[in-house]
Amino acid sequence: MALLLPFTYGMDPTVAVVLLAATYVGAEYGGSIPAILIRTPGTNAAAATVLDGYAMKQQGRAGEALGISLYSGFVGGIVGLVVLVLLTEPLSRVALAFTPPAYFALGVLGLSVIGSVSGGSLVKGLIAALLGLMIATIGTDPVTGTSRFTFGSPELLSGIPPILVMVGLFAIGELLAQTGEPGWEKASADSARIRFPGPAMWKRIARPQAIGSVMGTIEGVMPGGGGTISAFLAYNEARRWSSHPEEFGKGSPEGIAAPEAANNTVACTALIPMLSLGIPSSNSSAVLLGGFLIHGLVPGPMLFVRNPEVVTGLYWGLLVANIAMLILGYLIMTPCLWLVNRPKPYLMGFIYAFVVSGVYSIEGSLFHVGVALGFGALGYVMRYLKIPFLPMVLGVVLGFLVESNYRRALVLSSGDHSTFLRDPLAAGLLLVAVTFIVVTVVRHLRAGREATA
């Protein structure tokens, strides 16, 4: 997705957003292919699929495993889409009630998920978020117009576009991390003919698919949830409710159906907080947010008022993407395997060329290419130090919203901070944010205590 982001610059906004969202949907299924064939999950969310998918492959049932994965992903995707359409619109109806204090509180709520997306270290997550907030202060001050931290460079007057941070951290950082790594294992084309499940199998995997869809809905809507957590939760619940729990880990079809339904449900439901509140809850939805921003679309409350056609187009696009995934997932397996089996040095060369060409396309600026390379280096260091990316992206994306509305609210209230508590929407959002922060801190402290015990 991060690779495609700059590539969408010349496209119609709706087409660009649908392309990115469809890539997200496709990647959730695509991640299961290497998980099943070469025991390497293509995405984090596909890690749970490795357990039974690779075991089925070893039993000579790779085609069946791929078919269950594809079919379950389709079911999960459609359930997620229905939930997305039903929940997003009502949540966005509060749009017109937003004032500067409420926007500030919304930004704080977005930042409050940092703890839950920080992995094992809250301190590292907070440092990453602060670095993101600091990056967001570069450029022209939102209230006085003073230029800050630009070092006299005109290119920095309008700030550092979040898309450069995302492409650098995700795409170039990954390219650098792959440098020096051994080549990928080759996938055999013979073992990859998809076999769709028959009626008996449909019946058997219906329950784990339902469990996966429920888990995907809950985790997707929650900021910081994400496909990986939902996939493992669904896997555990499917095993608990299964009439064949002993087969799990040894090639159970239910062990593929549950996580695949879950992570494909999340692909749609994770868009709910992003579309309605402008808060990305996962790396993929953060990249999709970047797709909105480079087309001047601001996800959040006003998107439904100003650009309803983009939202409708996105819904239809996701429906088409899910149906296309079912058809193309079957048809393009062979060419996909040909592509991933190309020698790694050639693939790396083409990916690098694609990234620099795409970044230049955004504003025709080689300076931007340099900035993206810089963030690529930072992304590599962050990977090395196990510092999470998403808090930094949240800081970059929400920094301007938080600062500009905080200061505007204080200007309007003559410096009275109680304005944030007098506005009922702002007070409610801040209360939710504080609750979220307290719960996260308590959870981290408890985890730390258990680790040292």
Q: Binding other proteins by CB under 8 A: which of 3, 83, 105, 131?
A: 131
3-class state of residue 397 by DSSP: helix
Which is closer to other proteins, CB of 82 or CB of 177? 177
With CA atoms as reference, report the closest residue to 318 among 139, 80, 121. 80
Q: Restricting to residues 365-384, which ones interact with other proteins according to CB under 8 A?
A: 366, 369-370, 373, 376-377, 380-381, 384
Q: Binding other proteins by CB under 8 A: which of 82, 85, 134, 336?
A: 134
* Distance of closest approach, residue 176 Cβ to other proteins, in angstroms: 5
Q: Is 184 in the site for other proteins (CB under 8 A)?
A: no
Distances (CA, A) of 130 to 12, 73, 139, 163, 389: 34, 37, 17, 18, 12
Q: Is 66 in the site for other proteins (CB under 8 A)?
A: no
Q: Is 143 in the site for other proteins (CB under 8 A)?
A: yes
Tokens of 345: 């040095």
Q: Is 360 in the site for other proteins (CB under 8 A)?
A: yes
Distance separating alpha carbons of residues 283 and 299, to the nearest angstrom? 16
* Distance of closest approach, residue 121 Cβ to other proteins, in angstroms: 8
Burial of 453 (0-12, 13-18, 19+ CB in 10 A): exposed
Tokens of 171: 């795409």
The stretch near other proteins (CB under 8 A) out of 20-28, 279-287, 357-365, 437-445 is 357-365
Which is closer to other proteins, CB of 137 or CB of 236? 137
Residue 249: CA count within 13 A, CB half-sphere: 5
* Distance of closest approach, residue 31 Cβ to other proteins, in angstroms: 24
Q: What is the dihedral of CA 69, 174, 357, 33, to 10 degrees?
A: -10
Q: Restricting to residues 243-302, which ones interact with other proteins according to CB under 8 A?
A: none
C-alpha Rg value of the chain to the nearest Å: 22
Neighbours of 122 (CB within 10 A): 20
Distance separating alpha carbons of residues 413 and 46, to the nearest angstrom? 50
* Distance of closest approach, residue 321 Cβ to other proteins, in angstroms: 22
* Distance of closest approach, residue 274 Cβ to other proteins, in angstroms: 25
- Asked if residues 114 and 129 have their Cβ atoms less than 8 Å apart, the reply is yes
Q: Binding other proteins by CB under 8 A: which of 58, 59, 119, 148?
A: 148
Determine the residue type at 335.
Answer: P
Q: Is 152 in the site for other proteins (CB under 8 A)?
A: no
Q: Is 157 in the site for other proteins (CB under 8 A)?
A: no
Q: Is 349 in the site for other proteins (CB under 8 A)?
A: yes
State phi, psi for 148 to the nearest 5 degrees. -120, 135
Q: Binding other proteins by CB under 8 A: which of 90, 145, 152, 154?
A: 145
* Distance of closest approach, residue 381 Cβ to other proteins, in angstroms: 8
Distance separating alpha carbons of residues 231 and 141, to the nearest angstrom? 43
Q: Binding other proteins by CB under 8 A: which of 60, 243, 296, 346?
A: 346
Tokens of 297: 């679309």
Q: Is 144 in the site for other proteins (CB under 8 A)?
A: yes
Which is closer to other proteins, CB of 149 or CB of 316? 149
* Distance of closest approach, residue 430 Cβ to other proteins, in angstroms: 17
DSSP string for 162-180: HHHHHIIIIIIHHHHHHTT
Q: Is 195 in the site for other proteins (CB under 8 A)?
A: no
Q: Is 126 in the site for other proteins (CB under 8 A)?
A: yes
- Please list the residues that pair with 139 across neighbouring strands: 148
Q: Is 331 in the site for other proteins (CB under 8 A)?
A: no
3-class state of residue 147 by DSSP: strand
Q: Binding other proteins by CB under 8 A: which of 90, 152, 180, 296?
A: 180
Determine the residue type at 391.
Answer: P
Distance separating alpha carbons of residues 206 and 210, to the nearest angstrom? 6
Q: Binding other proteins by CB under 8 A: which of 58, 149, 305, 323?
A: 149
- Asked if residues 139 and 150 have their Cβ atoms less than 8 Å apart, the reply is yes
In the block, which residue shows the tokens 């290497």? Answer: 34
Q: If you ran DSSP here, which 8-state letter would residue 143 be given?
A: T
Tokens of 274: 């992003």
* Distance of closest approach, residue 398 Cβ to other proteins, in angstroms: 13
Q: Binding other proteins by CB under 8 A: which of 18, 51, 70, 127?
A: 127
Q: Is 141 in the site for other proteins (CB under 8 A)?
A: yes
Determine the size of the site formed for other proteins (CB under 8 A): 55
Tokens of 11: 């496209």
Tokens of 450: 């258990």
Q: Restricting to residues 429-448, which ones interact with other proteins according to CB under 8 A?
A: none
Tell me which residues touch other proteins (CB under 8 A): 9-10, 123-124, 126-127, 130-131, 133-134, 137, 141, 143-146, 148-149, 172, 175-176, 179-180, 343-346, 348-350, 352-354, 356-357, 360-361, 364, 366, 369-370, 373, 376-377, 380-381, 384-385, 387, 403, 406-407, 410-411, 415
